[in-house]
Amino acid sequence: MGYKDVYAAWKADPEKFWMEAAEAIDWDEKPSKALFDKGDNLYEWFADAKCNTCWNAVDRHVEAGRGEQTAIIYDSPITHTKREISYVELRNRVATLAGALRAKGIGKGDRVIIYMPMIVEALEAMLACARLGAVHSVVFGGFAAHELAVRIDDAKPKAIIAASCGLEPGRVVHYKPLLDNAIEQSSHKPEFCVIFQREQEVATLIEGRDVNWHGFQYGVEPAECVPVEGNHPSYILYTSGTTGQPKGVIRHTAGQLVALNWTMKNIYNVDPGDVFWAASDVGWVVGHSYIAYAPLIHGNTTIVFEGKPVGTPDAGTFWRVISEHKVKSFFTAPTAFRAVKREDPQGEFVKKYDLSCLKAVYLAGERADPDTITWAQKQLNVPVIDHWWQTETGWAIAANPLGIEALPVKLGSPSVPMPGYEVHILDEGGHEVPPGTLGAIAIKLPLPPGTLPNLWNAEARFKKSYLEHFPGYYETGDAGMIDEDGYLYIMARTDDVINVAGHRLSTGAMEEVLAGHPDVAECAVIGVSDTLKGQAPLGFLCLNAGCNRPHDEIVKDVVRDVRNQIGPVAAFKLACVVDRLPKTRSGKILRGTMVAIADGAEWKMPATIDDPAILEEITEALKALGFAK
Ligand code: COA
Ligand code: AMP
């Protein structure tokens, strides 16, 4: 069956399609049906089944006689360490860790925050939670203490599992002080913290609260997998919305198992035993789905890579890892390739390695620009597949499903909708627009298994953010179009979310930080085009009347504040002081127009602008920063 047949088979009978996909999963109690309509546009999948994620990701492969296969390869050019963990070893380690957590009172439904860098123990912590039916929430290491505190207050974890430090090139990230600071800031306090001490930095433990990762596992009874309901939350992953309060995306257990397992062959074209590598971080959705869960559920070997595309030690790192570990399918963000291309445009490093094992490359996280795709195609001589998805969906909405059929690649398009997703392009009024016309991208409900059923403790926000604008549809927050052949094009966000180096960030959250500065009366943050990172945040500050501090001092202050409150990952380095912000007569800041001016794109004077003269001042300020050319 080709793509069209598979998609048509899903559309004709979604229930049959997903029940068949569910046969690849081990169930403690089989689902009686796939879709459960909860009313009010809320849906769940395989809700009456019982299963366990850790069993499916680890134990069942051991039971099937594949215990000696490598489950995880740890490759850290930063620490010069490599390590392989077999499925049986992983099973034993995770069962012991789960046993230790259980002995400290962690059970089904308890939340556990995981704050760890790219080390094997991060995956083990996730799997140990899954084993017990505890709900993990992994927080990316590049966030500041305040962001961690916000997540602690929302998820209300019983425990936090953290490492003593993370390692960025040339810099140790001191996780433990960040963790202590976050717990100090948060109103909710965890009962205990488990600290994994790394060789690079041994953290001071707080007596009565902190336990040592190794010490607390000593002599405990290993824990068995706890069967949970199909609609039991597997995890909460916070992602940026339009405000400083992140959205807690929930993933249900059974839907995730079925959907992710399906994608491994059909989209990524790997078979059990093949090596699959997603060069992301466990703190992001790509890390959840394609470093941790999908490859393990499907019985692949996954790679935990602690390094960067360049500088650890050079622009050949990706190729070394692929060649050394025989990676068949490789997943990264376009930014990473842009970084490599900038240092090695002619691909001199590519030539040093035997990459015959590599069969395909997948790009996601941000728009894949045609230059980057053609460069990668030329260097690697394999299909380079752009695919589009979100934290909310957990897996690709649109892709080129190489395991079903290699469709022609169209540069600038992540190809076609995957089974489960009926994608529509709508105008403001919710009417379908003709092919080739730009509009809001919406997905007809229900969303498929493995996608978000709700937001953690925020059902009203879930409905308002995603379901209310276009009744009967999920609003993706992306704008784009579909061409005559059914290929999708993702052009821009329709909200205040920007994408910096494949990281999703909220300009609203940055504006909250800027507005908190005592000299700032009003502010706006926009995402300007950046040749390496796709977008970069840029702030405009209007100062309080009578403020006569030098502007560069205030700019330095706000750059520091964003780094301290949101984190280095925000990469907020640019800001300028202006007298006024351009607004509509109703007071809405014209961020889109400012972005167009900054990027040197064509723009029209908005009909509703309050005072067109302000745009001249904005243009001058942008020129002074090297934009608006
Ligand atoms: N813990 C702590 N700090 C982190 C971090 C982490 N896990 N990840 C990034 N940071 C810090 C960096 O050290 C940097 O700090 P600095 O301002 O002191 O230099 C800052 O956050 C910005 O980091 P980053 O976005 O990684 O930019 P960079 O300039 O260091 O590197 C690239 C540029 C392109 C090499 C890098 O962005 C990259 O590898 N991008 C690919 C992203 C990716 O795979 N995304 C996954 C989504 S699918
Ligand atoms: P995240 O939730 O961090 O995965 O970010 C999701 C957002 O990143 C999407 O809503 C898009 O705006 C953007 N994005 C992800 N993948 C792509 C892609 N292949 N093409 C264009 N934009 C993408």
CATH number where 576 lies: 3.30.300.30
> What is the C-alpha to C-alpha distance for residues 460 and 452, in angstroms, rounded to an integer?
14
Where residue 241 falls among pLDDT bands split at 50, 70, 90? confident
Residue 355: inside a domain, yes or no? Answer: no
Residue 508: inside a domain, yes or no? Answer: yes
Atom 9 (ligand 2): residue with closest C-alpha?
Answer: 390
Where residue 243 falls among pLDDT bands split at 50, 70, 90? confident
> What is the C-alpha to C-alpha distance for residues 588 and 595, in angstroms, rounded to an integer?
15
What three-state secondary structure class fits 547? coil
Strands (E), 80-146: 81-86, 111-115, 135-138
Query: What is the distance, to the nearest Å, from the Cα of residue 56 to the centroid of all Cα atoms in its chain?
Result: 22
Which residue, chain included where needed, has tokens 């030098």? 550
DSSP structure string for 304-361:
EE-S-SSSSS-TTHHHHHHHHHTEEEEEE-HHHHHHHHHH-TT-TTGGGS--TT--EE
Residue 365: inside a domain, yes or no? Answer: no
Q: Ligand 2 center to residue 169 CA distance, Å? A: 26
Reported as a single tens digit per residue, the pLDDT across 556-567 is 999 999 999 999
Residue 557: inside a domain, yes or no? Answer: yes
Atom 11 (ligand 2): residue with closest C-alpha?
Answer: 366
Atom 13 (ligand 1): residue with closest C-alpha?
Answer: 168
Rounded to the nearest 5 percent, the helix, strand and coil shares of the chain are 30, 25, 40
Average pLDDT, the chain: 97
Atom 45 (ligand 1): residue with closest C-alpha?
Answer: 502
If you compute the radius of gyration of the chain from its CA atoms, what whole number of angstroms results? Answer: 24
Residue 507: inside a domain, yes or no? Answer: yes
Last residue of a domain, one of 225, 254, 282: 225
Ligand 1 atom with least separation from CA of 286: 48
State both tokens at 212. 């040592």
Examine the pLDDT at 242 and tell me if it is beyond 90.
Answer: no
Q: What percent of the chain is predicted at pLDDT more than 70?
A: 100
Decide whether any atom of ligand 2 lies within 6 Å of the 239 Cβ.
Answer: yes
What three-state secondary structure class fits 202? coil
Examine the pLDDT at 215 and tell me if it is beyond 90.
Answer: yes
Ligand 1 atom with least separation from CA of 533: 34
Which domain CATH number covers 172? 3.40.50.980
Using CA atoms, how far residue 314 sits from 3, 319, 345, 394, in Å, is 39, 10, 13, 31
**Ligand 1 pocket test, candidate residues 362, 560, 569, 573, most atoms within 8 A of CB:** 569
Residue 264: inside a domain, yes or no? Answer: no
Q: Ligand 2 center to residue 234 CA distance, Å? A: 22
Last residue of a domain, one of 186, 205, 225: 225
Residue 613: inside a domain, yes or no? Answer: yes
Ligand 1 atom with least separation from CA of 332: 44
Mean pLDDT throughout 449-467? 97
Decide whether any atom of ligand 2 lies within 6 Å of the 477 Cβ.
Answer: yes
Q: Which value, to the nearest 10 degrees, does the dihedral of the CA atoms of residues 504, 508, 512, 513 take?
A: 30
Mean pLDDT throughout 203-230? 98
Mean pLDDT throughout 169-180? 96
Q: Which ligand has the minimum distance to the alpha carbon of residue 489?
A: 2
Q: Ligand 2 center to residue 610 CA distance, Å? A: 33
Q: What percent of the chain is predicted at pLDDT more than 90?
A: 98
Closest to 556 (Cα-Cα) out of 544, 567, 541, 569: 541
Decide whether any atom of ligand 1 lies within 6 Å of the 284 Cβ.
Answer: yes
Ligand 2 atom with least separation from CA of 392: 2
Which residues form the domain of 565? 501-624
Decide whether any atom of ligand 2 lies within 6 Å of the 387 Cβ.
Answer: yes
Atom 5 (ligand 2): residue with closest C-alpha?
Answer: 390
Residue pair 309/337 in contact (Cβ under 8 Å)? The answer is yes
Q: Which ligand has the minimum distance to the alpha carbon of residue 477?
A: 2
Decide whether any atom of ligand 2 lies within 6 Å of the 288 Cβ.
Answer: no
Examine the pLDDT at 188 and tell me if it is beyond 90.
Answer: yes
Last residue of a domain, one of 225, 240, 266: 225
Ligand 2 atom with least separation from CA of 499: 8
Cis peptide before 177 (omega within 30 of 0): no
Closest to 235 (Cα-Cα) out of 432, 33, 453, 55: 453
Q: Ligand 2 center to residue 289 CA distance, Å? A: 15
Mean pLDDT throughout 612-628? 95
Mean pLDDT throughout 42-58? 98
Mean pLDDT throughout 137-156? 97
Residue 517: inside a domain, yes or no? Answer: yes
Reported as a single tens digit per residue, the pLDDT across 367-402 is 999 999 999 999 999 999 999 999 999 999 999 999
Using CA atoms, how far residue 65 sits from 60, 299, 470, in Å, is 9, 12, 49
pLDDT at residue 399, rounded to an integer: 98
Decide whether any atom of ligand 2 lies within 6 Å of the 287 Cβ.
Answer: no
Closest to 628 (Cα-Cα) out of 585, 586, 606, 596: 596
Domain count, the chain: 2
Say what the pTM is.
Answer: 0.97
Ligand 1 atom with least separation from CA of 331: 48
pLDDT at residue 244, rounded to an integer: 84
Q: Ligand 1 center to residue 35 CA distance, Å? A: 39
